[in-house]
Each structure stands twice: as structure tokens, then as C-alpha cells.
Amino acid sequence: RSFTSQTDGESRLARVLREKFPRASAIKVVDISGGCGAMYEIHIESEEFREKRTVQQHQMVNQALSEEIKHMHGLRIFTSTPKP
């Protein structure tokens, strides 16, 4: 599937993440449930994660998506900081 044909759920989550992580250099949201919106994989590269442990980074993402997560079965989160 090409990047331009994002599902509504992917677009919605990416929009929320862009609002919550304005310094993110990359945000990618993929519906890995076959398009039904039950499970997503999220990749975020952001300066906001610098100096934070992985668990703290994931907590930040979970907090940002707290309302959306209520309607999901699962979420895979991958976080990183931009390379200097």
C-alpha cells in the first residue's frame, strides 16, 4: 500500500501525534490489523525523547494517544531520537 492511501485511522493517529510531538522529525503510523483499525504500529523520531529511557518514551506516546487507545486491541510503539 502506498503512503498516500492511509486509512482514516492512520491519518487520525498521525495527526494527534503531530500535535503532541511538534518536534518530531518523523512519524509513521501503519494499521497492521488489515485495515479494521484494531492494531497499529507507530514509529516516532523526536527530539522530545532525548535523555529519556525507552519506557518513558513509550509512556509519552501512550499518554498522547490515551483516548484513541481505548478503541484498539493493540499498539506497537517504536521510538527514537534524531541522529546528531
What CATH number is attached to the domain comprising 58? 3.30.300.90
* The residue type at 20: K
Q: Is residue 24 part of a domain?
A: yes
Sheet holding 24-31, edge to edge: 24-31, 39-46, 74-80
Domain count, the chain: 1
Q: What is the pLDDT of residues 38-83, one digit of tens each?
A: 999 999 999 999 999 999 999 999 999 999 999 899 999 999 999 8
pTM check: above 0.75: yes
**Residue 49: which of 15, 13, 77 has the closest Cα?**
77
Q: Is residue 57 part of a domain?
A: yes
* The residue type at 46: S
Q: Is residue 84 part of a domain?
A: no
Q: Is residue 44 part of a domain?
A: yes
Q: Is residue 58 part of a domain?
A: yes
Instruction: Yes or no: say if 32 and 39 are a contact pair by the CB < 8 Å rule.
Output: yes
Domain of 67, in residue numbers: 6-78
Q: Is residue 49 part of a domain?
A: yes
pLDDT score recorded for residue 62: 96
The Cα 43–Cα 74 span in angstroms is 14
